[in-house]
């Protein structure tokens, strides 16, 4: 069995059935919205799928593939699992287990700005890996925030085939593009609906529920030098340290586009905020 479920359908580029500003904030680490989305997605999945397909087997939830830095989906996944566990426990089913798809990333391009052919060509250079033995005889839920062209899905299918996995599985999305007449760059329209510049990140990164992810790390490191310096001088040492550690963990120090801003962070990582302001200006 292989089924796809999406909570929201995108059929009109001029109108979305969910808040595009919220989606944009979610993609850049707004944890409160990640919780809201995860909760809504779980409730929709339970009502429209699980209640109609009762299964007593162990469920494993798998967030979108990542290397070191989680994706935005990872934060949404946490609330999805919580809400799903409430239902499973109440109905005396085994609660969720989790697994990770390990990913080797080979590109720096903004995926949301590419067409279907470009996306597939780019992602085919990546490698995905999962613990096959852990998944045997379990029902798999692959979770992602949005389905645009299905490129990631095809890579998941290839990974499943290469590992000879014959599990029943669900591909679950917060939103899905169902109108083929809409260009795939609609994804970037959503991604940047609220975040128009690096300075729009301030209210996100200073919130209690902020979750650092790949998108915000890449966006900050790829910002022009002047904007980066103005932005970074106002951030906490805790945030700066997290940004640097995550970037190194994903190997971004080897990418030329990110190296200048990373060098600045390294040189100023352990000094006080007053010196950051002086050097930043």
Distance CA 250, CA 245 (A): 9
Token pair 């852990």 is at which residue? 134
Give me the pLDDT at residue 144, please: 97
The predicted structure's pLDDT at residue 211: 98
Residues pairing with 140 in the sheet: 60, 169
DSSP per-residue codes, 247-263: HHHTTGGG-HHHHHHHH
How many whole angstroms separate alpha carbon 278 and alpha carbon 104? 38
Closest among 82, 132, 109 to 222, alpha carbons compared: 109
Quick: pLDDT tens for 16-71. 999 999 999 999 999 999 999 999 999 999 999 999 988 899 999 999 999 999 99
Which residues sit opposite 121 in a β-bridge? none
Contacts 24+ apart (CB under 8 A), 114-117: 114/184, 114/185, 115/149, 115/183, 115/184, 115/185, 116/148, 116/149, 116/151, 116/184
pLDDT at 128: 83
Can you spell out the DSSP letters for 144-176? EEEESSSHHHHHHHHHHHHTT----EEEEEEEE
Which parts of the chain have pLDDT scores under 50?
273-274, 276
CA distance 141 to 137: 13
The predicted pLDDT at position 105 comes to: 66
Walk me through the domains of the chain, giving residue ranges and CATH numbers: 2-191 (3.40.50.2020), 222-280 (no CATH)
User: Residue 274 has what pLDDT?
Assistant: 47
Q: Are 189 and 24 in contact (CB under 8 A)?
A: no
């Amino acid at each position: 069995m292989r089924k796809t479920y999406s909570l929201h359908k995108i059929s009109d580029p001029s109108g979305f059935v969910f808040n595009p500003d919220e989606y944009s904030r979610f993609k850049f680490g707004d944890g409160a919205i990640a919780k809201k989305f995860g909760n809504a997605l779980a409730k929709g999945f339970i009502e429209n799928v699980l209640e109609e397909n009762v299964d007593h087997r162990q469920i494993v939830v798998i967030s979108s593939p990542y290397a070191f830095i989680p994706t935005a989906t990872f934060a949404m996944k946490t609330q999805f699992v919580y809400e799903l566990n409430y239902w499973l426990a109440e109905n005396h089913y085994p609660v969720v287990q989790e697994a990770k798809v390990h990913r080797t990333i080979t590109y720096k391009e903004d995926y949301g700005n590419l067409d279907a052919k470009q996306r597939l060509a780019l992602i085919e250079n990546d490698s995905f890996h999962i613990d096959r033995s852990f998944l045997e005889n379990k029902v798999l839920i692959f979770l992602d925030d949005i389905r645009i062209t299905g490129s990631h899905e095809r890579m998941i299918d290839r990974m499943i085939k290469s590992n000879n996995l014959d599990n029943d599985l669900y591909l679950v999305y917060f939103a899905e593009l169902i109108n083929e007449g809409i260009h795939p760059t609609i994804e970037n329209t959503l991604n940047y609906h609220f975040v128009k510049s690096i300075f729009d990140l301030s209210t996100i990164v200073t919130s209690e529920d902020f979750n650092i992810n790949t998108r915000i790390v890449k966006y900050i490191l790829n910002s022009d030098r002047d904007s980066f310096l103005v932005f970074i001088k106002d951030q906490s040492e805790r945030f700066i340290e997290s940004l640097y550690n995550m970037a190194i963990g994903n190997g971004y120090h080897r990418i030329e586009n990110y190296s200048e801003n990373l060098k600045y962070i390294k040189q100023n990582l352990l000094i006080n905020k007053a010196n950051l302001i002086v050097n930043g200006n």
